[in-house]
Structure 1
Amino acid sequence: MESKKNTLDEQEQHHEGDRMDPDQQTAEQASAAAAGEPAPAEGGAEAEAPAADPRYDELSKQAEEHQQRYLRAQADFDNFRRRTQKEKEELAQYASSKLLTQLLPVVDNFERALAAAAGSGDSDSLAKGVDMIFRQLQGVLEQEGLKAMEAVGSPFNPEFHQAIMQVESEDHEEGIVVEEVQKGYILKDKVLRPAMVKVSG
């Protein structure tokens, strides 16, 4: 009996040695973490790291390509904006160059007519030369779409005429333009300058 009791006591001591105090187990885990060693997981299983998303590299590459496309488009737009601004400024600065080029021959003819009149003293030749130059000037202006109004004899129209005086007239009904003091001009379909007229009252 004594021998059997001793054997049971030895088995109980062996099992108690296998069982670890929870506080002692926690202390060992903290010591292992401080030493840089992975702490053993409960139940003896090791924790697994989350798997990397296989789409990450592809999405990152696509984002980089979109960024580069955006930067190129922004640079192209900036260049286009600067170029159009420069063209707009040049157009405004030299818009009258075509008309002035067409008027230069008229200026040349005026100079020739004045020089010829000063040398000969012939007023008739001067008058003919000036008339010729005036017709040349009219041709240039008409090519640009400028036309003179025909106001005399037409009903007064405030869109085209500027009345400066109302006169009595036996030959015209009331509200008719009887005299043109200053010619009016139309540029294409827009009134450039209204005609200054006298209107029958």
Structure 2
Amino acid sequence: MAKNKMKEKVIDTEPIKDDREEVAEAAQEMVEEQTGDKVTDQAAEEDDKSARMAAAESEWQDKYLRLVAEFDNYRKRTLREKMDLIASGGEDVIKSLLTVMDDIDRALDAMSKSSDIDSIRQGIVLIHQKLLETLHAKGVEEITAIGKELDTDLHEAVAKFPVSDEKKGKIIDVVQKGYKLKDKVVRFAKVVVGE
């Protein structure tokens, strides 16, 4: 009987072991399914993220290429405008000087027809004044020099001449007038300085 009880116990434990194994196998399968689902979900998320990143990269590349093309067009346009400005930059000044040139032509014509020196002189003075007014309207100013101290930013000393003490270091004569265009020196005044 003792053997029968042992058999019963053995018989009873075997199905329990089988149940445990089945439960363990079922649990393992569930874990694998869930893990597989998680892996599948993670893979899908990674694929989605990768697709979004690729789309963003493509969008940035497109923006970059458009910006480069836009800048290149801007550079070409400004270069073309600069060349046009250089080609026709003096046109306004030339147009204003043409009226003075017309006056000079009329004065020369009058000189050949008339012997009245005073009227010719007055005509030339008027032409000179008109030329100065035209240049002044364009921003050109004469550099005043006589009686001033030598300023190497405006004057070029071409000679020195002995003078009295009060005129030493000062400009006593102008060999060639100097001019400024707005604040920039276009031509330095060539002067004689007293020493």
TM-score (norm: length of structure 2): 0.67
Deviations 1:138-183 (A, max 9, x none): 0111122221122222223333332233223348432222222221
1:198 is aligned to 192
Unaligned runs of 5+ in 2: 1-35
Deviation at 1:100, TM superposition (A): 1.1
2:158 is aligned to 164
Matched, 1:101 2:102: no
| 2: CA distance, partners of 1:171 / 1:131 | 37
Superposed, which structure 2 residues align to 1:25-104 within 5 Å?
Answer: 51-52=43-44, 53-104=47-98
Q: Which amino acid aligns with 1:99?
A: V
| 2: CA distance, partners of 1:94 / 1:56 | 57
1:155 is aligned to 149
1:42 is aligned to none
| 1: CA distance, partners of 2:116 / 2:161 | 41
1:189 is aligned to 183
Matched, 1:177 2:171: yes
| 1: CA distance, partners of 2:52 / 2:157 | 80
Q: Compared with structure 1, are the counterparts of its residues 56 and 186 closer, same or farther at alpha carbon in structure 2 (3 Å cutoff)? A: closer
1:125 is aligned to 119
| 2: CA distance, partners of 1:90 / 1:78 | 18
Deviation at 1:196, TM superposition (A): 2.0
Q: Which amino acid aligns with 1:192?
A: V
2:129 is aligned to 135
Deviations 1:14-66 (A, max 9, x none): xxxxxxxxxxxxxxxxxxxxxxxxxxxxxxxxxx8965423343333333333
2:106 is aligned to 112
Q: Which amino acid aligns with 1:79?
A: N
CA RMSD of aligned residues (A): 2.5
Aligned length: 155
| 2: CA distance, partners of 1:116 / 1:146 | 29
Q: Which moved more, 1:173-182 or 1:56-65?
A: 56-65
Deviations 1:68-124 (A, max 9, x none): 323322222221121111111112222211211211111111111212222223322
Q: Compared with structure 1, are the counterparts of its residues 68 and 171 closer, same or farther at alpha carbon in structure 2 (3 Å cutoff)? A: closer
Larger Rg: 1
TM-score (norm: length of structure 1): 0.66
Deviation at 1:199, TM superposition (A): 2.3
Unaligned runs of 5+ in 1: 1-47
- Partner of 1:199: helix, strand, or coil? strand
Deviation at 1:126, TM superposition (A): 1.8
CA contact (8 A) 1:172 1:200 kept: no
- Partner of 2:167: helix, strand, or coil? coil
Percent identical among aligned pairs is 36
Which protein is richer in helix relative to its size?
2
